[in-house]
Amino acid sequence: MKGTDRLMKRMTVHTNRPYEVLIGNGLIRQAGEYLRELTSAQRAVIISEDHVAPLYADTVKRSLESAGFTAELFVFPHGENAKNMDTVMQIYAFLMEHNVTRSDMLVALGGGVVGDTVGFAASTYLRGVDFINIPTTFLSQIDSSVGGKTGVNTSFGKNLVGTFCQPRLVLCDIDTLSTLTDDVFADGTAEALKYGLIRDKALFALLSAGDFGGQLADVIYRCVDIKREIVEHDEFDKGERFLLNFGHTLGHAIEKQYNYETYSHGKAVGIGMYQITKAAERAGLTPKGTAEQIKAALRNCSLPDAIDMPVELVAQHCLHDKKRKGQTLNLVLLKEIGNAMIHTIDVAAFTDFLRA
Ligand SMILES: NC(=O)c1ccc[n+]([C@@H]2O[C@H](COP(=O)([O-])OP(=O)(O)OC[C@H]3O[C@@H](n4cnc5c(N)ncnc54)[C@H](O)[C@@H]3O)[C@@H](O)[C@H]2O)c1
Ligand SMILES: [Zn+2]
């Protein structure tokens, strides 16, 4: 694949079927050229949501048409509430009405909600049609667009139905991040801090100051590279991938307690990373002073570090986690900044561990 932008960064994710992640400015204007290098398909269907489509769908559509594709556009409502089977059914209907075949291509244009939903629709429509991902949030560029987890929410919980299905290509166009609200951007920052904390001390140091806007391409590259490495070792989430859950056990509990409204995912994960590290310090599992460094980083990045929620309630939510097996709970803790480990704890001891 050619690289027209000398500042563009690229890497290959070596999963079952390898694919490239391109990171740079103005990439959506070249989406058609990149797609053309992957396929001789006649048709591409852009699937997006109603915040993102008015901003970027035209540019992508024009680029696809210049590369010889007939491009259709399907738009669904934005937000986590649209990440469900109803939306998937509407996508199937659109694809069938337009006689989309297995040799055509889908283009997911939007944040993690679009990527997860379209990825799921693509992996199941006609038993699988290829898709590329154009993530437009900081979080989706560094996290959800890479790794091949697709899925939707059900009334029983989030992400309970899904597939493992890798995209053919991921285009991270940094320019699209300029239209994000500070709040949505901060959600991504929390996940970026997570990568630094579990794998890359220097990345954590860079992000801690809260002023990395000028180095966004580098930050995205380093985050994706960490996810790439972990996913390559554990494509189907049977071991190492669990490290990516640092801060998430408590984070999910907080999100759930507040009905996924008050605390966005990133904010909840930020609080989770700090609070679990405080507990781990008290238990002598993480060096003293680590939690304070996390707290300072969260503050500098406009993320909260605490919440007024009784420990018993937090523990109760964590123990109801559908992924928990038997009488133990796996936690991700820090050996030190840049180095994470999995620590198994008895369910009976968990509340005291948090309270200690
Ligand atoms: N598959 C995975 O491995 C994985 C990993 C992490 C998260 N996720 C999923 O990702 C989702 C969260 O993703 P998200 O944080 O990107 O949320 P999102 O897709 O809901 O986007 C957040 C908000 O930003 C808006 N938006 C998106 N791009 C924009 C842009 N360029 N300019 C202006 N506004 C824009 C959206 O309309 C939305 O209101 C969750 O559903 C989560 O479960 C999946
Ligand atoms: Zn997360």
Residue 327: inside a domain: yes
Closest C-alpha to ligand 1, atom 20: 79
Closest C-alpha to ligand 1, atom 2: 144
Q: Distance from the CA of 142 to the center of ligand 1, in angstroms?
A: 11
116 ligand 1 Cβ < 6 A: yes
Residue 172: inside a domain: yes
Q: Characterise 153 by phi-psi region: left (phi > 0), alpha (psi -120 to 50), beta (else).
A: beta
Containing H/E element for 150? strand 149-154
**Ligand sitting nearest the alpha carbon of 87:** 1
CB atoms inside a 10 Å sphere around CB 54: 10
**Ligand sitting nearest the alpha carbon of 80:** 1
Residue 3: inside a domain: no
Closest C-alpha to ligand 1, atom 6: 144
Q: What is the pLDDT of residue 4?
A: 45
Both 207 and 330 in a single domain?
Answer: yes
Which residues of the chain, if any, have pLDDT below 70?
A: 1-6, 322-323
Both 322 and 192 in a single domain?
Answer: yes
- CA–CA gap between residue 302 and residue 296 (Å, rounded): 10
Q: What are phi and psi of 10, to 5 degrees?
A: -145, 150
133 ligand 1 Cβ < 6 A: no
The tally of domains found in the chain comes to 2
49 ligand 1 Cβ < 6 A: yes
Name the token pair of 237.
Answer: 């989430």
Q: What is the pLDDT of residue 323?
A: 67
Instruction: List the CATH number of the domain containing 58.
Output: 3.40.50.1970
179 ligand 1 Cβ < 6 A: yes
Range(s) of the domain holding residue 301: 183-355
- CA–CA gap between residue 42 and residue 202 (Å, rounded): 45
Question: What digits encode the pLDDT tens for the residues 222-242?
Answer: 999 999 999 999 999 898 999
Both 106 and 222 in a single domain?
Answer: no
Chosen domain end from 148, 179, 210:
179
Both 206 and 158 in a single domain?
Answer: no
Pairing of strands 105-110, 130-135: parallel
Both 188 and 324 in a single domain?
Answer: yes
Pairing of strands 169-173, 19-24: parallel
Residue 326: inside a domain: yes
- CA–CA gap between residue 299 and residue 190 (Å, rounded): 11
57: closest CA among 41, 74, 80?
74
Q: Distance from the CA of 112 to the center of ligand 1, in angstroms?
A: 4
Residue 1: inside a domain: no
- CA–CA gap between residue 100 and residue 325 (Å, rounded): 41
Chosen domain end from 128, 161, 179:
179
Instruction: Please give the C-alpha separations between residue 343 and each of 167, 216, 225, 276, 287, in angstroms, as whole numbers.
Output: 32, 32, 24, 12, 15
144 ligand 1 Cβ < 6 A: yes
Cβ contact 177:217 at 8 Å:
no
Instruction: List the CATH number of the domain containing 305.
Output: 1.20.1090.10
Q: What percent of the chain has pLDDT over 90?
A: 88
Pocket test for ligand 1, best of 75, 142, 144 (most atoms within 8 A of CB): 144
Q: What is the pLDDT of residue 5?
A: 52
Question: What digits encode the pLDDT tens for the residues 9-39?
Answer: 999 999 999 999 999 999 999 999 999 999 9
CB atoms inside a 10 Å sphere around CB 253: 24
266 ligand 1 Cβ < 6 A: no
78 ligand 1 Cβ < 6 A: yes
